[in-house]
Chains A and B, each alone.
Chain A
């Protein structure tokens, strides 16, 4: 399987990184930077910010490679999670500064509707997640999509979807509980 080979190669690279081999970072970058840049860009919707965060992501990976545990996480998920979290951190900073990059422009909720989930059928985990998301009502599903792909806070979601804050909170919280139940079956 190509995916398994790719995963094995990444696990090996992560092991070399953990012992401080700098060449391994270059290999990791060649294999993963397009995916991670895609993640940063999706959250930040701003090329310059995404480039800065991408740079920071690989330095973080370099410092924290020894925390990666191949028994517990897939390398690409581990990396993509760092990229997304760093991007959201950045998004929150920009939000606090509150000027040149209006958060409203950061995501188009319409783009992240239920359709965004229909491409998850590539893996078993993806099919299961897709099924469980499918059990949620459409509004809940698209709110969760907007939150995941846009890195939006409850407050921003409420504003963009023009619903009260309490409504969006309860909608997402109930959705998350259902999702966890469904995935644990």
Chain B
């Protein structure tokens, strides 16, 4: 997959070249973006990392100056202040729910490479929605929304179409709440959840997104169960049935 024919020595293994560190700035950044969106490539980079791992044994430890740790502590405190400030606007009502939202927004669930690989296949199958040109592939994002037991509830594919973003949500297993409907939220890192629209328990739903911010690299997605027509308050009111992280190109 990462092998390219090249006149400079047969096949170039981009994952190996990235791991070794021979790529120039632009090539390196392109490889890093690819790691974020291409699980197979990320796996190859990881494998090369493991191959080169013993090379670190030959690097002598050097005590860093005492000033470094206090600076890390300062930065951490600053990060936490920003996080706390960002989550304040959430309504204090229902503290438990707020806690869950804060947790989703801050921690971001690490996506298993296997589930992402499966999603790429799903994306490839969405011919009628999916991007046709190689450039547009860059705008594809995929994610899995899981419940607290780690079971996949929805798969999500984001892509860019002409002048707006589109999200396709495919229910993997349906939740059994007949009176409520699932609503999709984007949770910016440390911010307040914003509704992206209503979903369906058993059918794929395609949402047109006016809000480009849905693609914030640190954003998490979550689904809560809401009354028919959506949350009356504009913020999630019902239980969170699924959540997951977005992967940026």
Contact = CB atoms under 8 A, between A and B. Distances in A.
7 contacts: A25-B72, A37-B68, A51-B68, A66-B110, A77-B56, A80-B53, A169-B6
B210 interface: no
A35 B59 contact: yes
Interface string A122-150: 11011001100000000000001001110
B194 interface: no
Interface stretch (B43-51, B117-125, B134-142, B173-181): B43-51
B34 interface: no
Given A73-B46, A174-B9, A120 B58 contact: yes
Interface string A60-78: 0010001101001110110
Given A35-B61, A51-B64, A119-B58, A147 B20 contact: yes
A20 to B, nearest CB: 7
Contact of B57 (A120, A155, A171): A120
Contact of A157 (B22, B51, B65): B22
B111 to A, nearest CB: 9
B12 interface: yes
Given A81-B49, A170-B9, A129 B54 contact: yes
A152 B9 CA distance: 19
Given A35-B59, A66-B110, A88 B28 contact: yes
A148 B28 contact: no
Interface residues of A, number: 71
A73 B52 CA distance: 12
Given A51-B68, A116-B58, A177 B8 contact: no
A37 B62 contact: yes
B21 interface: yes
B76 A25 contact: yes
Interface in A153-185: 153-155, 157, 165-166, 169-174, 176-177, 179-180, 183
Contact of B8 (A22, A26, A59, A169): A169
A173 B79 CA distance: 42
A27 B182 CA distance: 42
Contacts of A165: 8
A interface majority secondary structure: helix
B107 interface: yes
B56 A92 contact: no
A176 B61 contact: no
Nearest to A128: B54
Contacts of A33: 63-64, 68-69
Contacts of B72: 25, 29, 55, 58-59
A88 B27 CA distance: 13
B13 A180 contact: yes
Nearest to B27: A153
Nearest to A48: B65
B58 A38 contact: no
B108 A66 contact: yes
B60 interface: yes
Contact of B21 (A120, A125, A152, A177): A152
B21 A80 contact: no
B55 interface: yes
A34 B75 contact: no
Contact of A155 (B24, B53, B55): B24
A116 B59 CA distance: 9
A20 B107 contact: yes
Contact of B49 (A77, A89, A95, A144): A77
Given A38-B59, A125-B53, 4 more contacts: A37-B61, A54-B64, A116-B58, A120-B55
B56 A39 contact: yes
Contacts of A122: 54, 57
A41 to B, nearest CB: 6
A26 B72 CA distance: 10
A34 B6 CA distance: 40
A95 B25 contact: yes
A80 B56 contact: yes
